[in-house]
């Protein structure tokens, strides 16, 4: 394949179809009825941003989830825990205070 400057192929164009937002929403709505209760999930750097939002969606669409979420600051961890408990009171939400900056730190968190 000859690539001309300014004519860079997009990796997305290699995929023939994309999943629509409606399909994503339909899939999420089926999660509680099709997945087993008590799913376990681990969210890294989950005290803000996409990881926090994903954690909340996981809590919303699962039955009795057990969620471990990792973050650097206890105050942020306590704040994040409030929303999933309101969304799904049957879940367990365990905050792990750690900064995942090095592989050594990640290994230590995993051992605990």
Which residue intervals of the chain are DSSP H helices? 21-34, 49-60, 74-87, 103-111
- Burial class of residue 71 (count of CB atoms within 10 Å of its CB; 0-12, 13-18, 19+): buried
What per-residue confidence (pLDDT) applies to 108?
A: 77
Q: Cβ distance 88 to 65 under 8 Å?
A: yes
What per-residue confidence (pLDDT) applies to 66?
A: 94
**Does any domain span residue 94?**
yes
Number of domains in the chain: 1
**Does any domain span residue 104?**
yes
Q: Cβ distance 45 to 71 under 8 Å?
A: yes
pLDDT tens for 57-88 read 999 999 999 999 888 888 888 888 888 888 89
User: How far is it, in rounded angstroms, from Cα 45 to Cα 92?
Assistant: 18
**Does any domain span residue 62?**
yes
Q: Identify the CATH number of the domain in which residue 62 sits.
A: 3.40.50.720
Of these ranges, 32-36, 56-60, 102-106, the one predicted with the greatest mean pLDDT is 56-60
User: How far is it, in rounded angstroms, from Cα 68 to Cα 34?
Assistant: 22
Question: Is residue 97 classed as helix, strand or coil in its secondary structure?
Answer: strand
Of 41 and 19, more confident: 41
pLDDT tens for 10-34 read 555 565 677 788 888 788 777 778 8
**Does any domain span residue 75?**
yes
**Does any domain span residue 44?**
yes
**Does any domain span residue 86?**
yes
Domain that holds residue 42: 36-111
Q: Cβ distance 106 to 100 under 8 Å?
A: yes
**Does any domain span residue 12?**
no
């Amino acid at each position: 394949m000859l690539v001309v400057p300014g004519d860079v192929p997009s990796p997305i164009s290699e995929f023939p179809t994309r999943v629509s937002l409606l399909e994503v929403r339909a899939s999420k709505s089926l999660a509680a009825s099709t997945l087993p209760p008590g799913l376990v999930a681990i969210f890294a750097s989950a005290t803000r941003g996409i990881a926090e939002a994903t954690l909340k969606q996981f809590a919303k669409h699962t039955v009795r989830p057990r969620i471990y979420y990792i973050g650097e600051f206890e105050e942020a961890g306590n704040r994040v825990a409030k929303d999933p408990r309101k969304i799904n009171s049957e879940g367990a939400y365990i905050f792990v205070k750690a900064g995942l900056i090095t592989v050594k730190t990640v290994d230590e968190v995993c051992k605990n």
